[in-house]
Structure 1
Amino acid sequence: MKYLTSWRSPADPSSGDFSVKLDYRGFPEIFLWDNKKIEYRSGPWNGVRFSGTPEGKTPDYLKFEFVTNQDEVTYSFSVTTNNLFSRLIVNPNGVLQRLTWIPDYKQWNPFWYSPKDQCDNYRECGPYGICDVNASPVCKCPRGFEPKNLEAWNLRDGSDGCMRKTNLECMGDKFLHLRNVKLPETTTAFVDQSTSLKDCGDLCLRNCSCTAYANADIRNGGTGCVIWVSELLDIREHPSGGQNLFVRLAASDLALSPCYLF
């Protein structure tokens, strides 16, 4: 397994504390580690980009490739224009950066970086919590959920996350439609690239352990199926990107809101 490791310092190229690794379990995604502690995750590859990195259009001179099958799980990029150079590093301060060489200035210019803000911090809002960098406080619970630790929540510590207001009933449950979000952690998720979104929802409903579902690929209106059977971790809103996520709720928690799908 190949991965990126930071330098110890800008002047010391020995191995530092930070590393960036592609976790191939479940629905593969990239994690930034500080020794044995996760600092950030990219979200899974959705056919266009990683779910948690929705920023803008890919530059014409870069080509990204993500391969996942029974033989390999790899992420790579290439530069398609001669005399242009780009590299991906994790710096000694624990920031994942894409750098582009500027010939006129003879220096590497930061083109993209992560983590960017508070909501990029891993599990900032705990299980089922949603992080919104444009809100104050940044953590909120989705419909049908409430803070698990209200005292800490009111002090703006959302790390304990949210809990259900109403217990699930299995076949009588419905789904809350969350738009423009970074998908929850997918290392334990189930993936079927050939299943439609409708069939994915039916499959989730028949499995009483299923907590949410989404498309695996957002291209051409969406294809494939991702199903979660555990707590939903590390969700954030991305108003300019992200994708749809359908979270399982008790039917009574959706009864008064026609704007949510089921």
Structure 2
Amino acid sequence: MKKWGRIISTHQSYKVKGQVEFEVETKNMRKIYGCLQPFLLSCFASLAFCSSRSIAGDTITLNQSVTDGKTLVSSGGTFELGFFSPNNSNNRYVGIWYKRIPVQTIVWVANRNDPITDSSGVLKLSKDGNLVLLNRLETVVWSTNVSKGENPVAQLLDSGNLVVRDDDTNLSLWQSFDHPTHTLLPGMKLGWNLKTGLNRFLTSWKNHDDPSTGSFTFGVDRRGYPQAFIWNGKGIEYRSGPWNGLQFSAVPEMGPNYILNFSFTSTADELYYSFSLKNDSYLSRLTMTSSGKLWRFLMMEDEKSESWSRFWFAPKDQCDSYEACGPYGICNASASLVCQCPTGFKPRDPQNWYLRDGSGGCVRKTEFGCQNGDYGFLKLQDMKVPDTSQAFVNESMSLQECEAACRRNCSCTAYANSKVTEGGTGCLYWTSELIDLRVYTEGGQYLYLRMAATDLGKMKF
């Protein structure tokens, strides 16, 4: 504003030009200022409008900060970090989103449960090495809450990972990939660091306009033979089945494709699922939505598309609902009567069963005689194996050894290979009721169900 004042004053000082010339010049300057005034006022009113530009590079040091309206951009220009407001909200959050696509897609939120209500937020490094978010009162509303670093820096990587590290030793102190919100990106781990007890899982937004913690979570369950679940609160909504060497047994769509690689790591130190891209021209993310759906999204980066393609989702049908047909009931989404009992079994509650309520499951027609060998195994194909939370597993056993182990245990109800690779390897067997069974048109595996020989129509063996 001082600049304009100096220009007007200069014209006023030149009386030799005449009063008319002075008035013309003064009037012109007022016109210019009048045109600029709305723009200048909007700058003061909305920093996000006038100052939406990145600070130097992708890194915050002790002498830098990210204020509302400023951003960090990863070195390759893939991701951006800054303040944002959801669709119909005035609350401000620190988040990470894709930089080069036209539709803003948030993949991570720092202060999801502690919004800032104005544009006063500041993201900075504290002297103790923590990345902190301050409000107008300079109160810490969010922090990385890690041990001290001597010379900390925070850097947004081109993977979408925000990392706090010691710049002298390059030792990582904290990373956003260890604290996901609702989205899994390529290279992220969904699961456990067994040495530290860290569990990485996805949690939905509360709703489309509110990134606070929602009702639905997706993560890896360590019990028995590990598998992934969607939980609604404490209740199970969906089960992926265990990793069978190629994919989760309940996700035949994960089979070999030209876009994505899938992996599941199980060691003494780590237990996690991850994915990567085969083709760098694609973007992909796995998101736990506020409606309880797990969506796999794809986009070709060079298409500049206004929307993501929905490549896969779960649960997708009645048979994806956990325990849809009760104990021993087999769900078949292609059948007119979705819930079916296997050979040798009958509905526990026939009336409700034929009214299409299969939650009661099935019971044996004849109990098998374990001690006298009056039983056999019914071979079921194209199956999603039962819930493995309580299953026994031995990865080194053959299928024949697995059968022998099941025969030796009178409580054993079924067995199967733990892996479908190399023609089938490893052993799974169950000693309780079989829960959450379904059949696929393709992509399942064999399951051997123990039952009385008379119901198999076979001789005693």
TM-score (norm 1): 0.95
Deviation digits for residues 49-96 of structure 1 (CA, Å, limit 9, x no counterpart)? 111111264332311110113322111111232242111111111001
Does residue 123 of structure 1 match 2:312? no
Partner residue of 1:12? 210
2:442 and 2:257 map into 1 onto residues whose CA distance is 17
Deviation digits for residues 147-203 of structure 1 (CA, Å, limit 9, x no counterpart)? 011121121111010000111211332000000010000000010000000110111
2:421 and 2:448 map into 1 onto residues whose CA distance is 18
1:85 and 1:5 map into 2 onto residues whose CA distance is 21
Partner residue of 2:398? 196
Partner residue of 1:64? 262
How high is the sequence identity, in percent, across the aligned residues? 50
Which is bigger in relative contact order (C-alpha 8 A, separation at least 6)? 1
Secondary structure in 2 aligned to 1:135?
Answer: coil
Partner residue of 1:38? 236
Does residue 223 of structure 1 match 2:425? yes
Any residues of structure 2 matched to 1:1-262 within 5 Å, and which? Answer: 1-55=199-253, 57-103=255-301, 104=303, 105-170=305-370, 171-255=373-457
Structure 2 gaps, min length 5? 1-198
Secondary structure in 1 aligned to 2:285?
Answer: strand
Alignment RMSD: 1.5
Letter in structure 2 aligned against 1:182: K
Secondary structure in 2 aligned to 1:205?
Answer: helix
2:398 and 2:350 map into 1 onto residues whose CA distance is 39
1:198 and 1:138 map into 2 onto residues whose CA distance is 32
State how many pairs are aligned: 258
Letter in structure 1 aligned against 2:299: W
Letter in structure 2 aligned against 1:52: A
1:74 and 1:221 map into 2 onto residues whose CA distance is 24
Secondary structure in 2 aligned to 1:107?
Answer: coil
Secondary structure in 1 aligned to 2:411?
Answer: coil
1:7 and 1:62 map into 2 onto residues whose CA distance is 26
Q: Tell me which moved more, 242-251 or 2-11.
A: 2-11
Deviation digits for residues 5-56 of structure 1 (CA, Å, limit 9, x no counterpart)? 1111122111111110110111111110111111110111100011111126
Runs of at least 4 residues of structure 1 off by over 4 A? none
CA contact (8 A) 2:254 2:262 kept: no
Partner residue of 2:115? none
CA contact (8 A) 1:102 1:109 kept: no
Letter in structure 1 aligned against 2:439: E
Secondary structure in 2 aligned to 1:85?
Answer: strand
Secondary structure in 1 aligned to 2:240?
Answer: strand
Secondary structure in 1 aligned to 2:310?
Answer: strand
Secondary structure in 1 aligned to 2:360?
Answer: coil
Letter in structure 2 aligned against 1:130: I
1:83 and 1:106 map into 2 onto residues whose CA distance is 16
Secondary structure in 2 aligned to 1:49?
Answer: coil
CA contact (8 A) 1:128 1:231 kept: yes
Secondary structure in 2 aligned to 1:191?
Answer: strand
Structure 1 gaps, min length 5? none
- How far apart are 1:256 and its partner, in Å? 5.5
CA contact (8 A) 2:289 2:295 kept: yes
Secondary structure in 1 aligned to 2:454?
Answer: helix
Secondary structure in 1 aligned to 2:308?
Answer: strand
Q: Tell me which moved more, 179-188 or 247-256.
A: 247-256
Letter in structure 1 aligned against 2:361: G
1:57 and 1:188 map into 2 onto residues whose CA distance is 26
CA contact (8 A) 2:328 2:341 kept: yes
2:319 and 2:400 map into 1 onto residues whose CA distance is 30
Partner residue of 2:68? none
2:366 and 2:354 map into 1 onto residues whose CA distance is 22
2:363 and 2:285 map into 1 onto residues whose CA distance is 42
Secondary structure in 1 aligned to 2:352?
Answer: helix
2:389 and 2:249 map into 1 onto residues whose CA distance is 14
2:299 and 2:350 map into 1 onto residues whose CA distance is 49
TM-score (norm 2): 0.54
CA contact (8 A) 2:246 2:255 kept: no
CA contact (8 A) 1:173 1:205 kept: no
